[in-house]
Structures are given as C-alpha cells and as structure tokens.
Amino acid sequence: MIDFDLEYNSEREHLIIPEYGRHVQKLVNHCIKLETKEKRNEMATAIIEVMGNLQPHLRDVPDFKHKLWDQLFIMADFNLDADSPYATLSKEELAAKPDKLGYPKSASKYKFYGNNIQTMIDTALTWEEGELKEALVFTIANHMKKCYLNWNKDTVDDAVIFKHLTELSDGKINLTTEDETLSESKNLLRKKVSNKHKNNNNNKGKFNKNNKSNKSNKPYRKR
C-alpha cells in the first residue's frame, strides 16, 4: 500500500500577499535568515525583479519600484534587515487608519441650483468692477433662472432669482436695483422643448421605418 504524504494549504504557513505565491514567500523567508547584510541586499534585489515580472500591470503605476519594496517588507513582516533605495515602510504606518472623510455638503439650501453655482458666484466676487463682471453676474443669474425652471417650474419672477443670488453671495451681489431683466422663461426652456420635439420625430421616423420594413417582409400569398 502506497502512503502519500499530502500537505494541505490549511496546514501551510499563511501567505501575507497571496498574489505572489508561496515560492516568493519562501524566498523572502530565506532572505531574512541570511547571515550578512550584503547577501540579504543582493537577494532582496533579485526578489524585487521576480515580483516585478509577476505583476507587470504595476509598471504603469507611479513609483513602481517603491511599491514593490514596500510589499517585500510587508511579506517579511518587517523583519528583513536590508537596504531599500526608498524610505522604509514601518508596521505602524501600514496599520495607521486614514483620516475620516466628511460627507460633502450642499452649497446652500437651494439644492436645485447645484454646487457649481456657488463656485461661480465666489469667482465673480473676485473680479474687478466693470462690464465683464456685470456680464458674468447676469450670466450667472440667467443660469440660476434656468436651473429654477428645470426644477419642475413653468415660470419664476426675476425678483426671486435676484433674492437668491443676494443670499448666496452674502449680500455682495444685489441686482434688485437694476433696471435690466433676465431672459424670458420661454427662451430658457426653448432648447429643452426643441430637443424633446426632435426626439419624438426621430422615434416617429423609426416607427414608420419599422412598419414599412414589416410590411415589405410579409410573405407573398397567391390567390
């Protein structure tokens, strides 16, 4: 009777980075046990070359070699005494948790304007007084009106837009005293209606084309 000495993965040493396989892990373990630092440095460099060949997609990653050296020290559980051409990663740095990211906040209570409106307003406030700034402010106001109308509204008074613009600019932009008016609602919504009409025509043409195709494909029936 033949007795097979089988070794199960569950009984083997845990792989710290499984992507490189067990043979690379054994090379790393052997490198740790080498007596002289000169031999460890030589073997560590050879292991880096092998790791690079096993992960060719990492060559497009910035600091490709740096990443490989960090992974080498991670697989050695930071017990490898070898000289790295980069700053050596420590176990504490690896275990450190990243800073908590806060949830993005809306620019204002008027969410239908979007966050970019606040950026545009802040930019306008940095411009010098003159025709260019005035033109930019009215462009922003017209865009705000368009956003408001897209918010399931058919019409809106310019005074409402001017009021919101004043609030969003902390009172630094005030168009309530101006005699000029914003673009009419029908002009701002014309593009939206035109696109809808165009899509309907395209669908109609497609439907007629399909009908014509279906009609021509009917089998001929002799009488």
**CA–CA gap between residue 184 and residue 175 (Å, rounded):** 17
Residue 210 lies in a domain: no
**CA–CA gap between residue 127 and residue 139 (Å, rounded):** 14
User: Do both 179 and 134 map to the same domain?
Assistant: yes
Classify residue 54 by burial, with Cβ atoms within 10 Å: 0-12, 13-18, 19+.
middle
The pLDDT-based confidence of 3 (bands split at 50, 70, 90) is low
Structural domain harbouring 140: 111-187
User: Do both 84 and 129 map to the same domain?
Assistant: no
Examine the fold and report which residue of 37, 61, 95 is the final residue of a domain before the chain moves on. 95
Q: How many other β-carbons are positioned within 10 Å of the β-carbon of residue 129?
A: 7
**CA–CA gap between residue 169 and residue 137 (Å, rounded):** 11
The DSSP H or E segment spanning 128 is none
Residue 206 lies in a domain: no
The pLDDT-based confidence of 76 (bands split at 50, 70, 90) is very high
Secondary structure, 3-state, 145-178 = HHHHHHCCCCCCCHHHHHHHHHHHCCCCCCCCCC
User: Do both 122 and 90 map to the same domain?
Assistant: no
User: Do both 85 and 120 map to the same domain?
Assistant: no
Task: Tell me: pLDDT of 164 over 60.
Answer: yes
What pTM does this model have? 0.46
User: Do both 88 and 18 map to the same domain?
Assistant: yes
User: Do both 149 and 174 map to the same domain?
Assistant: yes
Number of domains comprising the chain: 2
Asked if 132 contacts 109 with a C-beta cutoff of 8 angstroms, the reply is no
User: Do both 69 and 130 map to the same domain?
Assistant: no
- The pLDDT tens digits for 34-46 are 999 999 999 999 9
| pLDDT of res. 207 | 47
| pLDDT of res. 190 | 65
Examine the fold and report which residue of 25, 60, 95 is the final residue of a domain before the chain moves on. 95
Nearest to 142 by CA among 183, 189, 193, 191: 183
User: Do both 64 and 138 map to the same domain?
Assistant: no
Examine the fold and report which residue of 71, 95, 119 is the final residue of a domain before the chain moves on. 95
Q: What is the mean pLDDT of the chain?
A: 80
Residue 218 lies in a domain: no
The pLDDT-based confidence of 220 (bands split at 50, 70, 90) is very low
User: Do both 126 and 156 map to the same domain?
Assistant: yes
User: Do both 28 and 65 map to the same domain?
Assistant: yes
What is the SS3 assignment for 102?
coil
Residue 214 lies in a domain: no
Task: Tell me: pLDDT of 193 over 80.
Answer: no
| Whole-Å CA distances, 195 to 7, 133, 189, 200, 202 | 68, 32, 10, 9, 11
Residue 220 lies in a domain: no
User: Do both 124 and 65 map to the same domain?
Assistant: no
Asked if 165 contacts 144 with a C-beta cutoff of 8 angstroms, the reply is yes
